[in-house]
Amino acid sequence: MKVSVLDASSLRKTLLRLIPKHDKIYMAVAWADSGPVADKLIENKRKFESVTVGLDFCATDPDFVDALQGVRNSFVFKKQGACFHPKAYLFVTGENAEAIVGSANFTRGGLGSNIEACVHVRCSVSDPAIASLIAMFDSFAPHRQPVTRLLAESYRRQAAIAARKPRPAAPVLPTETKDFRRIDSELLKMDWPTFIREVRKDPNHHFATRMKFLRYLQSLFAKVGSFSALSVAEWKMVAGIVHPDAVADSGLEKYQIGWFGSMQGSGSFTNLIANQDEDIAKAVDAIPSRGLVTKADYDEFCELFTDAFSNSARVGRHPTATRLLAMKRPDVFVCVNNGNTANLAEALSFAPSTLGLDNYWERVVEPIKMADWYNSKRPSGKQAEAWDCRAALVDAIYYEEV
């Protein structure tokens, strides 16, 4: 047995030599990039015995994943709750074996600019260490899968979105059927020009009138530190209380208050709004007026919103709650109402009857945040205002008269 230590640069040179030299190739790495070494690897794909790459944090280059489509004995790995993190390479010809194990991924950094340390072992294929390595490669089988066109295309979209985030999550793969249907929906695949074109169609309402309403609401929240500081008429406007007397003589009659979900039929909610309930005000204030809205912010809102109904005949539900959320932060939330629930549920792959405050964030907010249009660069001009309200405007696509 011969042993040497390789840094990143020498590993790159060694791989370029070993890939064409040997008859069998094994590899398991957390992440991989395209490039000259990857090109050499794919040129020798007929030699693959077990080549597995991880996709955690969407850190693997989508071009490399594309190159694995349909390649025998090549896989991607994903296991819920675990990060795929090995860096192992094995080359075999007849009775001769060369193994490299260390810190370096199959990436530009791992094969170039990074400070890496890898052990290069040359020995007989009968050496127990080689058998252990092959057993390790085989052990990945329960959580690996071949690369299909569907997987590669979806991964590319998710990786593009993840690249804009400080620490992106692992992608959703086609084998995760339920979750994949949600992230692979047409709603999430729209780019910004397609999305705004669909929103502008607005067959049941009028886009310009929607925007006038949303702009006014944003001006309301911008001028006060707390929801409690608004007038009763303004509370009703935000809450979607559309009774003819709700905003009479307030100057707010000119706005289409019922658009984005009329909440007039919610008796207990209407009473709380009319009485400017303290817990409702605290709930709305729990959502920041600008910047990042976190799951913790949402959970605090839900707790306070639910508490507001403790002395009411009925409990607070997601239509009234999401109306308040969408009107305060139309860039994050969409009001789920009787007119859009069925279509939105179909688009995001959940049963309409199962939606509630406990899963709205997971089933609606998080998928929308993964949409191509949602993560687009803020446009200039008039479209900028629509972009600032883009989540709430989903209602314009999926609402139907009921």
Q: Where are the alpha helices (DSSP H) in 68-172?
A: 128-139, 149-162
Sign of CA dihedral 15, 16, 21, 26: positive
Cα–Cα distance for residue pair 52/32, rounded to 1 Å: 10
User: Per-residue pLDDT tens for 305-337?
Assistant: 999 998 877 777 899 999 999 999 999 999 999
Cα–Cα distance for residue pair 115/102, rounded to 1 Å: 11
- For residue 75, the one-letter residue type is F
CB 182 within 8 A of CB 194: no
Bridge partners of residue 3, in order along the sequence: 121
CB 111 within 8 A of CB 12: yes
Give, as one character, the DSSP assignment of residue 241. Answer: -
pLDDT value at residue 383: 93
Neighbours of 245 (CB within 10 A): 8
Sign of CA dihedral 294, 298, 300, 301: positive
Instruction: Please give the biggest Cα pair distance in the chain.
Output: 92
Cα–Cα distance for residue pair 72/17, rounded to 1 Å: 22
What is the CATH T-level fold of the domain 2-174, as seen in this structure?
Endonuclease; Chain A (3.30.870)
* Six-digit token string for 346: 């179909």
Cα–Cα distance for residue pair 71/60, rounded to 1 Å: 17
Cα–Cα distance for residue pair 162/160, rounded to 1 Å: 6
Residue tagged 């675990």 (tokens): 82
- For residue 279, the one-letter residue type is D
pLDDT value at residue 91: 98
Closest CA to 135 of 26, 19, 2, 3: 26
Closest CA to 162 of 31, 355, 258: 31
Q: Where are the alpha helices (DSSP H) in 22-124?
A: 36-43, 62-67
pLDDT value at residue 73: 97
pLDDT value at residue 251: 52
User: Per-residue pLDDT tens for 27-50?
Assistant: 999 999 999 999 999 999 999 999
Neighbours of 115 (CB within 10 A): 9
Contact residues for 366 (Cβ-Cβ < 8 A; gap 6+):
none
pTM more than 0.85: no
Neighbours of 4 (CB within 10 A): 12
Cα–Cα distance for residue pair 111/196, rounded to 1 Å: 43
pLDDT value at residue 267: 74
Q: Which helix (H) or strand (E) holds 368?
A: helix 366-369
Ranges under pLDDT 50 in the chain: 249
Give me the residue spans of the domains in the chain: 2-174, 186-398
Could you give the 3-state DSSP secondary structure of residue 213?
helix
Cα–Cα distance for residue pair 145/275, rounded to 1 Å: 57
